[in-house]
Structure 1
Amino acid sequence: MLAIVVAGAMTMGLAMSTSVFATGGDTATKTTEAYISKTFNTEVGKNETFSFKATPVPGNTEKVTIPDINFTESETGTTTKRAKVSFPEWTDAGKYEYTVTETGATPAITDTKHQTMIMSKAEYTMDVYVSNSGSGFEISNIIVNKKKDDKGTAATGKVDISNTDKNGFKFTNTYVQEAGTGIDPTNPDPTYAKDGSLNVTKAIEANGGTVDTSKMFDFTATFNFPTGTDANTLGGVKDADGNTIAINEAGTYTFKLKANKNMKFTGVPVGTKISVVESATPNYKGSAESVFNGVPQTKVEASKYDEAITVKNTLGQKQNKVDVTNTYNYVPTTGIIMNTLPYVLMIALCGAALMAFVAFKRRRLQK
């Protein structure tokens, strides 16, 4: 009798163990479908296809299929799409383990001098629990855990695999092209050699005086890089000599220019929002003509001398440049500063009028 009781207990325990094993031990939430998400960041429209793979752990021969996810050249900015994971016809109950990764992009970016595709290095483990429902073998639960993030850094935690915006079974890629290189970055536009990603030039209008060619003017450039990129994405933002410049955490870089000199930036991604500010300089009034993505922009002019000017825009695939001209507040030999001359003339006119009035009154009194 004792042997029978022990055998029955063991049988019940085994049955319970098998049941838990088949459902993944998580009876609170059960998921029988899985979706993956692909987020694609690009400021330049591209027809691109991304592929994925679910690699079974050793001993598992059941194949899982993940369809490709496609993007078209009309989809720019940040776009997210989802695809449903396809499972085979199961032939046995149990736990099936897979490692899910991204395997590539088509077309692949091979010439990376002026462009790059930042591929996702994310990695997930997908555990599929299959049980016998009586009418056949079917999925009773799917659990996906993140092992690495998009940068390949170790990560942990269960992720959402539903067909909603909460989905965390995600891979993120970013396509980056250098600004100013033109439609085909493998064959840059002729203007790129001169202007790079962005070229800031400096000129002085003497306004009748003499140009001080040693005079230095202060500039601040602020870079707001597109989603998924930073100053180092294309090997670092560089100056005309190919030296990497030090952009601070706020995205700003300060430099000085004198007459007939320029500051050429290279290695800046398309879609970067740029602000170029020339600081206020005594006795100079600034103006700026600019071209962004090959299109001339409205001229920017200071309203008075000793006033800062700012040019803002977004760097495009085609030519980007800012040409700054400062007009000197010439002081003629009379010693009268040009911007005070109107007031001097007004005072002189009032004085002349007063003298005329006094002379008129005298004549009347004499008569």
Structure 2
Amino acid sequence: MTQHLLEPIKVGPYTLAHRMAMAPLTRSRAGQPGDLPTAMNAEYYRQRASAALIITEATQISRQGQGYAWTPGIYSDEQVDAWRQVSTHVHEAGGRIFMQLWHVGRVSHPSFQPDNALPVAPSALPVPGKTFIVDDQGNGVWEDVPTPRALEAFEIADIISDYSRAARNALRAGMDGVEIHAGNGYLLDQFINSNSNQREDNYGSSVANRARLLLDVVEAVADEVGAERVGVRLTPMGRFMGMGDATPEATFGYIVRSLNRWPLAYLHLVEPAVVGTVKDENFDPRWDAIISQLRTQWNGVLMIAGGYDPQTAEQALAANRADIIAFGRPFLANPDLPRRIRDGLALNTPDPSTFFGGDQRGYIDYPAHP
């Protein structure tokens, strides 16, 4: 049964035909130089335009915001023009598409930074993880993340402006809206979590201060493009890249209640059953209680993601756990996923060896069902 998955829903100014969204998926295939979407990227998204809503791969708001090789940006006119071919292809195929706005913060490498500088973070703390860089031979390799430098207070205003500019550029590129990426261990999440934020100024220490940067970004982006075209992604209880918070119920409860100030398109929560690209078998069991708490505290449309299949997605909607389910890897391997779910058709199996980097193999050659 897919009764609930097939129901239409209003998201911001848009009425979506069903409740199966495409989650943001980093694929590291942007054209070089310039980190530009290509015709191959446009074809990838066009193939998946039957999603209720496509959320693009994470897209850096500035050069400083990049942390992985061959990921696209949205801070130059050339990038805006290149993304326009993506939005055009999706719209011509009848789809809707939001761009996910990204600043990785400390999860970066000097090779991506202006003047080979250290990555930035709320606090100068070691990072337990690796990032994907280009070696001297032009190959993609995983490299340790260096200890970042702490952002100076005066630099934060520039980052907020970068988000605002990126949102404006996304709509210039024909996007229907934007999703602010505030999860998965990246910059906004680093400010939110007490494990990674040891600041003692207005952006650290208390829950309200650690949430301040996200709320400042939401305000700036909503003022730029309209709150109804803005979504926010959070990962409560996430552990990726050293995340963790001493009081997650209080921290994320405060954030969600604060986000109710704006008539946002949706709130997107990632369940920690999937952390990064690996299954986390040891996620905190408080998650179920927290998602129930946040579901009650959030006044708008709730989207959730985290390893759902058609059966568990339908069950989640039937239980009012959320309003929309975002599928990641199933959409990666099944460009016609909504049809397959609706008709009970077999699913293609994704090939992990082609997830990051490469050519059309494992990207635009997954077949639709006959």
TM range (shorter): under 0.3
With CA pairs under 8 Å and 6+ residues apart, which has the higher RCO, 1 or 2?
2
Structure 1 or 2, whichever has the larger Rg, is 1
Higher percent of residues as strand: 1
Higher percent of residues as helix: 2
